[in-house]
Structure 1
Amino acid sequence: MPQAASPHSKGALIEIRGLGKRFGSVVAVDDVSLTIDAGEFVALLGPSGSGKSTVLMSVAGFERPTAGQILIDGVDCTGLPPNKRNIGMVFQHYTLFPHLSVGDNVAFPLKMRGIGKAERRRQAEQALEVVRLSGYAERMPKQLSGGQQQRVALARAIVYNPRVLLMDEPLSALDKNLREEMQIEIKRLHAELGFTVVFVTHDQGEALTMADRIAILKAGRLQQVSPARSLYERPSNLFAAGFIGEMNILPVTWDGEKATFSNNQDIRLPAEALIEPIRPGAAVLAVRPERLSVAAPGEAGTWKATVRDVVYAGAGSLLITHLDDGSEVRLRMPSAGQANVRSGDTIGIRMPPEAVLLYPSGDAA
C-alpha cells in the first residue's frame, strides 16, 4: 500500500457549541452542539433541509454562524476565513480546473500558500500516490473517470496535510460500484493519515458503513449522535427509527407490560423495549423487517397476515403483508427457501419480543 513520504496528519478536536444559522426568517441550524474527537470520523445525516450541509459549511468557514462557536483544537475559529483553519474540503462536484493537469490541480492549494514549484510537484506526486493515482500527474481531468476525478479531489484536499477533512456528499455523483469503492478508499485514507473527518451524506448505508459516529439532524436540530450499531438497533426517538433503515411502525395500546393492536392481538415486551418510560395508553411499536420471520399460519405466538407482494432482490426478498386489522408489516429475509411464498398466501409472522422497540405516540416521525 503506497504511503506518503511526508509526516502523517493528526486529527484535530472540533467543538461545535450552540451553533445557529438563519437565512432571513428561515432557521437552518438551531442550537447544535457536537464534539468531534481528534481523528474521529463523524457523518452528518438527515433529509434535505435538515441543516447538515450548513453545519459543515460553518465548520469550513464558508458560512458565518448567526449564533454559537466553532473551536478547532481549542482555538475559536468562528470568525476565521477558510484558509486560516487548516482544513481540507471535498465537495459533491469535483470542482477540478479543466485547463490544469492533474498534478497542477492537486498542487494548486500549495501554490496559494506560496510553496515553490519543485516542492509543489513533489508533494502533489506524494498525494497522488496516497490515493493510488501515481503516474497520472500529466493527464487532464477530462481523461479521467468519475472515480479517478474524485480521487484527484481527495488528493488536492490532503496535499497540505490538513488536520480536518470536510466532505459534502462527495460520492453522490458516482454510480453504485464506484461509490462503494470510494467508501473503502476514504476509510483507508482516514485510517492511514489520521485526520478528523466530518462527512455529510443523505445515504444511510454510506453513513452506517463509514462513520465512527452518526449525527442525525431534522429541521436544524440534532436528534441523535451515536455509533452506527447503537443508532440502528436503539434509535432514541421515532424520527431516528423511521429515518435509519427500514422500520415497521405500528400503533398500539400499552398497559405497562404488553402492547395490544387494534385487532386485540398483543405482545408482552421486556423492559429493554422501552426507549424511555411510557405511561399506559397510546404508544407506537417499531420492529426491523429483518428481525421478523415466516411461520405456518396459526402457529402459536405468531401473527396472522396476508401476503400482498413478494419482491425478489437477488440474495434477499421483501415480503409486504397485511395483518387482520389492515396494518402493513414488511419482512426481509434470504431469498433461498422462500420460493413457496406467493402473493395472496396466508402466513404466520414471528415477532420476537426482544426485537421490538416502544415509543410514545407523540414522538413525531
Structure 2
Amino acid sequence: MAVEAAPQSRGASIEIEHLDKYFGAVRAVDDVSLSIAAGEFIALLGPSGSGKSTILMSLAGFERPTGGRILIDGQDCTYLPPYKRNIGMVFQHYTLFPHLSVMDNVAFPLKMRGISKAERRRQAEAALETVRLAGYGQRMPKQLSGGQQQRVALARAIVYRPRVLLMDEPLSALDKNLREEMQLEIKRLHSELGLTVVFVTHDQSEALTMADRIAILKSGRLQQVSPARELYERPSNLFTASFIGEMNMLPAEWDGRTASLPGGGVMEVGAKSMIDPVGPGKSVLAIRPERLSIAAPDSAGSWPATVCDVIYAGAGTLVIAEMPGGTEVRVRLPSNAVGSLSRGEAIGLTCPPDAALLYSAEQAT
C-alpha cells in the first residue's frame, strides 16, 4: 500500500535587519539587511570568512547576534531558542545517529516533540518517501551511500514540517556526479514542499543552479543580492565580477566614450555597459571569456594579442593569450570553432559592444 506523502508546507518570510555579529574584536557580520520572501530559495555565497555561515547560525538560533533583528513571518526571533523557531537544519556532515535505524533517525525530532510512536512512524515513512527512500527505514546509516545518508538528513529536517529549511554546505562532501544529482533533488523538494530555503555554499555553480536569488558576501558585508542571470551578466562591483565565474579584467583609459586598452586596442562603451558613473581616467573593462572571439591579427576593430596556451577540454577549449603590456586574457570557445592555434601565434581579439562592463579603477584598490 502506498505511503501517504507529506503534505505541502508553506514557507515563511524572513527579514534580517541590520544584523551585526562580533567574535571578540572581529566583526563577522557587518550591518546585513536582507528580505527573503515566503517560499523563496536563496543562497548565501562568498569566500571563507565572509559571514555566510554566521548569518545562517543566527537564523537557526545557534548564534546570538550582537545587534540587529531577525523576523520570521513577522515574529521577532532574534533571541528565540532554536527549538521554538520551527526551522529545519541540514549540515555538511549528516550527523546521523549511527546506532539508530534510518526510521528512528528520521523520527527522532518527532520523539523529542512528544509525538506518539505510531504517528512518528507514519510521518517518518512519509518523509522517507518524499526523499525517495521508501523501504529504507530498517537499514542502518552505515549501510547507505553518502547520497542516501544526505537524503536521510533531509527527511529528518522536513519530517516535522518546518516552514524554513537552513542548509550549511550540505553537498560539499559528495563527489561531483552525486552532488549534481542532489542539487536537482533539493530543487524538487523545494518546489514540492513550498519551504523557504536558505542555502550556504562556497560553490558558485551550485548557487547559480539552485537558487532563486544569490546573496554575495565579503568580509561580513552584502555585496549584491540578485537572481543568477543578473548576477552573472551584470555584477554590481568588481568583487562580484571577479568572484562569480571567470572574468577578464582589462586595465583601460576611459575618455567618456571609448576605453583604450594596452597595446592600442579601443572599444566604444555604451551607457548600459557602465556600472555606476565612471569618470574619465583609469578604469577596468570586464569581459567574460565566452564573449570574446579570435580573429586574424590586424583585423579591423580587433585587439592584438599573442597565444600563450591552448587547453582542450572536450566540448570547449580555453585559449590563454597575452596583450601588449602583459595583460593575460582568457577566451573560451567551442572546440569545433578553434581551428589550429599554436603558442606564440599572433591573433586578434574581438568582443561585441554589449559584452563588456566598465568599472571605476578605484574599486580595484
TM-score norm. by structure 1 comes to: 0.98
CA distance in 2, matches of 1:131, 1:341: 49
| 1:270 to partner: Cα distance | 1.1
Quote the Cα distance in structure 2 between the aligned partners of 1:298 and 1:364. 31
Q: How many residues align?
A: 364
Moved more, 258-267 or 103-112: 258-267
How far apart in 2 are the matches of 1:63 and 1:238? 31
Do the aligned residues in 2 keep the contact of 1:3 with 1:130 (CA within 8 Å)? no
Q: Gapped runs of 5+ residues in structure 2?
A: none
Q: Give the Cα–Cα distance (whole angstroms) in 1 for the partners of residues 58 and 298 of structure 2.
A: 57
Matched, 1:197 2:180: no
SS at match of 1:363: helix
2:39 paired with 1:36 = no
- Distance in 2, Cα, partners of 1:292 & 1:6: 49
The one-character-per-residue Cα deviations of 1:326-363 (angstroms, maximum 9, x if unpaired) are: 11110011111324122222211112111000011111
Separation of aligned partners in 2, 1:342 and 1:151: 48
Does the residue aligned with 1:39 lie in a helix, a strand or coil?
coil
Q: Distance in 2 between matches of 1:229 and 1:135?
A: 40
Quick one: distance in 1 between partners of 2:191 and 2:130? 12
Partner of 2:110: 110
> In the alignment, what sits opposite 2:188?
188
- CA distance in 2 between partners of 1:138 and 1:5 (Å): 19
**Residue 275 of structure 1 contacts residue 359 of structure 1 at CA under 8 Å; is this kept in 2?**
yes
Please tell me whether the aligned partners of residues 10 and 39 of structure 1 are also in contact (alpha carbons under 8 angstroms).
Answer: yes
Give the counterpart letter for 1:278 in structure 2. V
The equivalent of 2:334 in structure 1 is 334
In the superposition, relative to structure 1, how do residues 77 and 4 fare at CA in structure 2: closer, same or farther (>3 Å)? farther
**What SS does structure 2 have at the residue aligned with 1:225?**
strand
Indicate the residue corresponding to 1:139 in structure 2: 139
Q: Residue 139 of structure 1: SS of its match in structure 2?
A: coil
| Contact in 1 for aligned 2:18/2:33 (Cα 8 Å) | yes
Q: Which residue of 2 aligns with 1:356?
A: 356
- Match of residue 95 from structure 1: 95
Output one character per residue of 1:231-272: Cα deviation in whole Å (capped at 9) or x when no partner.
Answer: 000000000000000000011111100011232321111111
Is the aligned partner of 1:317 residue 2:340? no
Whether the 8 Å contact between 2:264 and 2:303 is mirrored in structure 1 is: no
Give the equivalent residue in structure 2 for 1:280.
280
How high is the sequence identity, in percent, across the aligned residues?
A: 72
Is 1:61–1:78's contact at 8 Å kept on the other side of the alignment? yes
SS in structure 2 of the partner of residue 362 of structure 1: helix
Matched, 1:302 2:302: yes
Indicate conservation of the 8 Å contact 1:28/1:50, yes or no. Answer: yes
Q: Is residue 4–residue 130 contact of structure 1 (8 Å, CA) maintained in 2?
A: no
Deviates more, 1:219-228 or 1:332-341: 332-341
CA distance in 2, matches of 1:222, 1:284: 22
How far does residue 6 in structure 1 lie from its aligned partner after superposition? 3.7
Q: State the one-letter code of the partner of 2:145.
A: S
Amino acid of the residue matched to residue 244 of structure 2?
Answer: I
Instruction: Report the equivalent of 1:17.
Output: 17
Counterpart position of 1:171:
171
Instruction: Report the equivalent of 2:81.
Output: 81
